[in-house]
Copies of this chain bind each other. A is one copy, B any other.
Amino acid sequence: MSRWLDFDRRLREVDEDIQKLERLLAAPSISEERRSQVRAQIAEIRQREEQIVREVFSHLTAWDNVLLARHADRPYTLDYIGAIFDDFVELHGDRRFGDDPAIVAGLAPLEGRTIAVVGHQKGRDVKERQFRNFGSARPEGYRKARRVMRLAERLGYPVVSFVDTPAAESRLEAEERGIANAIAENMLVMSSLATPIVAVIVGEGGSGGAIGTAVADHVMMLEHAIYSVIPPESCAVILEAFGRDPKRGPEAAEALRLSAQRTLELGAVDEVIPEPPGGAHRDPGGAAERVKKAIIKAIQRLESIPTETLVTARYAKIRNLRHYEEQ
């Protein structure tokens, strides 16, 4: 169903082969002749690998992107924060009810300026995933993010938002404390916050849970991230067009145009950040480097705009999305 999934498995096998050969190289007993043989072998495998990567990634399906965006090895928000910033002082709590670990927020230095960072954090292992509620934020998470963004506005720091969530938490406790209100108020505040906002969808940009921290002057998206109104499986279950069959998620993904390029063309994001060959999880450092450069470039541009102009332009961008016909 996913070409990429098979390919990802094969690629890992190739990686293992290379590792084996590299261990061979490192052995002291190896002869100089054998060594150069092995080197050539490695180079050949690598070339083949690159070719395969290029080939497979040149025609990924929407469903491939869904699987890539959800890949368990994909770098998460805290990975990006750790790689991009020299320091990060995490702030906690919404000053109302609690602290939601599904959203992290804090201050970080970036080339001489201070940035307010917010982002969903999915969690790497089983324990962290539970702690982080799989990146599904509760009202407290959105309110913490809002508090830190207001702090950024007050003190004149740009905001960087990392978006990576399957969806906002929707169970009863979240409903009771106003998850809908929390998302809506965040969008309201972000739509007129008097400081530059940059958002990066790094993995799953899941519906209301995502847009609740993704209203920004410059919205970027990693090449294999997804930004979707609904998980494709759920879409397939709901719509007759897909026989109400969750297995037809890949078709729904295609219908929903889940690719960064199409998302860009539809005007929902302003820039696509290319990932390292094979996807961000194959080179987290390289991915972070690209994200960092894109963030810095965006902030530099936004910083040069007077705040009032910035806020007006942000509203105009959000408001002027069309996609309708007037008769």
Contacts and interface: CB of A to CB of B under 8 A. Distances in A.
A177 B97 contact: yes
A312 interface: no
Interface string A155-194: 0000000000000000000001110010001000000000
Contact of A178 (B96, B176, B177, B178): B96
Interface string A90-117: 0000011100000000000000000000
Contacts of A97: 96-97, 176-178
A187 to B, nearest CB: 14
A181 B143 CA distance: 14
A78 to B, nearest CB: 27
A139 B176 CA distance: 16
Nearest to A139: B96
A97 B178 CA distance: 7
A123 B35 CA distance: 90
Interface in A59-114: 95-97
Interface string A134-145: 000001000100
Nearest to A184: B95
Contacts of A95: 178, 181, 185
Contacts of A143: 96
Interface of A: 95-97, 139, 143, 176-178, 181, 185
14 contacts: A95-B178, A95-B181, A95-B185, A96-B96, A96-B97, A96-B139, A96-B143, A96-B177, A96-B178, A96-B181, A97-B97, A97-B176, A97-B177, A97-B178
Given A95-B181, A96-B181, 12 more contacts: A95-B178, A95-B185, A96-B96, A96-B97, A96-B139, A96-B143, A96-B177, A96-B178, A97-B97, A97-B176, A97-B177, A97-B178
Pairs A-B, 9 closest by C-beta atoms: A95-B181, A96-B96, A96-B178, A97-B177, A95-B178, A96-B177, A97-B97, A96-B97, A96-B181
